[in-house]
Amino acid sequence: MRASTQRDPHTSADVIVIGAGLAGLVAACEVVDAGQTVLILDQEGPNNLGGQAWWSFGGLFLVDSPEQRRLGVKDSLELARRDWELTAGFDRPEDYWPRLWAQKYVEWAAGEKRAWLRERGVSFFPVVGWAERGERGGIGNTVPRFHITWGTGPGLLKPFIERILRAASTGQVRFGWRHRFHQLHLDSETGAVTGVSGEILAPDNAERGEATSREVVGSFNLSCPRVIIATGGIGGNPDKVREAWPERLGSAPEHFLTGVPAYVDGSGIEAVERSGGRVINRDRMWHYTEGVENWGPVWPNHGIRILPGPSSLWLDAEGNRLPDRLWPGFDTLGTLTHLRHTGHDYSWFILNRDIIGKEFALSGSEQNPDLTDKSVRDVLRRARTDMPDPVRAFVYQGADFVMADSVRDLADEMNQLTGEGLIDVEQLEAIVAERDAGASSAGVDAQADAVREARAYSGDRLIRTVAPNKLVDPASGPLIAVRLHVLTRKTLGGLETDLNGRVLRDGGDPVPGLFAAGEASGFGGGGVHGYRSLEGTFLGGCLFSGRKAGRSATRADDAPESA
């Protein structure tokens, strides 16, 4: 197909938004609400409207919400600030803007955020989850704050997509699908943005999330004085993940699974950096250690994250139990760091049918059809069944699950699955016996005591955490082992932005007319999370930074508004 060049093929717009994911859509909505026109460019087609957020579980970080209070959770802005600061571990000069973004974001999560979403029709599942379980004075959430959107990711996207499509029907919004952004154009004297250019990719009708053709059929060159970058991170690009992998986390895995579609490739961040935008904290990243191969993959090397309750026994590849506090659901980065120093790319959960039935959830809208479809009947059915249907599908069709009636037979199945023979039967029997002793008596096993503490919270006791029980109890069987892989997910660093979402150059001056939002900006400032996330903060970071960038871009003078 012969390549061609297009100049301003669309009616001129007041603002160009690059990226049709959640952050870009929120930013575009703000432009529309200000009465201005917007052109949305994306390297994918309309089947991917909503980007990564469509695949998400829909978790949102809220502070002192009505949902928390109904469950007896005592939260406060002060407590959330302390948790965030300790968990983020800000320790660099370039953390100046990320720390300010963090302060503003936590204030929003404790204030306007919930009401703002409710005004747009977003509601929440009544039980608040406890991700990244912490303890007072340490890292993590000292109280539950993970609010699941009723409708999961698609439910969160719905009001913003509907708003944009309504505006598109009147011509206020236009789309440039299959437009891959490559370069910013800047005024030679002022350094201000004057437009963008890039390549037009061949049409591709692939289903949502599937990898699409990269055949170039043309180019585009568009003039616009205000541009918002919302192109996502690097999680779908294994080479870039390995390139950015820091030594402090241990060696980068030779094999890992991918938790986001292939279009999450980091190309937008690179394009801005080539034009003088500053990227900071690129060595900070958020990857999970509870990934399993998707038995029905959508994108290349597609993995699904297990959202575990606290009861599973966690072993490294050689069958050694992980240290205290590195229990399921407690410390993602600590667990990743520990496992990356073991010399192996996988680890194991050991559990039984009772535990997997109540404590295993799978991340993703498609893995939670009851919540995604807003079916009260199916949610109640999940609570009554011995194992949710999506989990059952992985147990019986997934490549990483084995079952047996005895510890000895389970060890054989584990060794056969890997072909490495690293699991010693006697060692595994001793570890299981040690763990099971704690199920009967408090003060014997720290993890069993942590399970008891978790069940003191009514939300965990109702739907998330089983009572301490023995793995080898025949009534709770069979035994199950799950091989776990590192799963790529989020870029925590990114384009440095001030509190108005303006992209900064080396030296701290803003690029006039250039803004960034979402993962491309490290969810605000170039790394609002620091080293670690409290969870439920990625979608919320897209909402907050997209809203800020969109509002700032509508001001013709490009002057900063008050923080």
Count of helices and strands (H, E) across the chain: 18, 22
pLDDT confidence tier of residue 384, bands split at 50, 70 and 90? confident
Task: Write down the residue that tokens 């579980």 correspond to.
Answer: 57
Q: Is the dihedral of CA 319, 478, 487, 360 positive or negative?
A: negative
What is the pLDDT, as a whole number, of residue 558?
55
Task: Write down the residue that tokens 């704050």 correspond to.
Answer: 145
Structure tokens at 141: 């959430």
Helix (H, G, I), strand (E, B) or coil at 173: strand
pLDDT confidence tier of residue 91, bands split at 50, 70 and 90? very high
Task: Give tens-digit pLDDT for 428-476.
Answer: 999 999 999 999 899 999 999 999 999 999 999 999 999 999 999 999 9
Mean pLDDT for 3-23 is 74
pLDDT at 31 over 60: yes
Distance of CA 394 to the CA centre of its chain: 21
Kindly report whether the peptide bond that precedes residue 478 is cis, defined as omega within 30 degrees of 0: yes
Task: Give tens-digit pLDDT for 503-542.
Answer: 999 999 999 999 999 999 999 999 999 999 999 999 999 9
Mean pLDDT for 309-323 is 98
Beta carbons of 284 and 530 less than 8 angstroms apart: yes
pLDDT at 382 over 90: no
What is the pLDDT, as a whole number, of residue 397?
97
CA dist., res. 394 & res. 451, Å (int): 25
Structure tokens at 204: 């591709």
Give the rounded percent of residues in the chain with a pLDDT score beyond 90: 94
Beta carbons of 550 and 28 less than 8 angstroms apart: yes
**Residues in the chain, total:** 563
What is the pLDDT, as a whole number, of residue 563?
43
Round the CA-based radius of gyration of the chain to a whole number and report it: 24
Helix (H) or strand (E) holding 238: helix 238-244
| DSSP-assigned letters across all residues of 493-544 | -EE-B-TT-EEEBTTS-EEEEEEE-GGGBTTTTT-TTTT---SS-HHHHHHH
pLDDT, averaged across the chain: 95
pLDDT at 1 over 50: no
What is the pLDDT, as a whole number, of residue 5?
40
Domains along the sequence of the chain with CATH: 15-231+492-554 (3.50.50.60), 287-487 (3.90.700.10)
Give the rounded percent of residues in the chain with a pLDDT score beyond 70: 97
Beta carbons of 255 and 345 less than 8 angstroms apart: yes
- Give alpha helix (H) positions in 39-125: 66-70, 77-88, 96-110, 112-119
Beta carbons of 166 and 173 less than 8 angstroms apart: no
What is the pLDDT, as a whole number, of residue 213?
97
pLDDT confidence tier of residue 385, bands split at 50, 70 and 90? confident
Beta carbons of 314 and 348 less than 8 angstroms apart: yes
What is the pLDDT, as a whole number, of residue 137?
80
Q: What are phi and psi of 260, to 5 degrees?
A: -140, 160
Q: Is the dihedral of CA 268, 270, 271, 277 positive or negative?
A: positive
Task: Give tens-digit pLDDT for 295-308.
Answer: 999 999 999 999 99
What is the pLDDT, as a whole number, of residue 12?
78
Task: Give tens-digit pLDDT for 212-256.
Answer: 999 999 999 999 999 999 999 999 999 999 999 999 999 999 999
CA dist., res. 311 & res. 435, Å (int): 10
Mean pLDDT for 48-63 is 98
What is the pLDDT, as a whole number, of residue 199?
98
pLDDT at 4 over 50: no
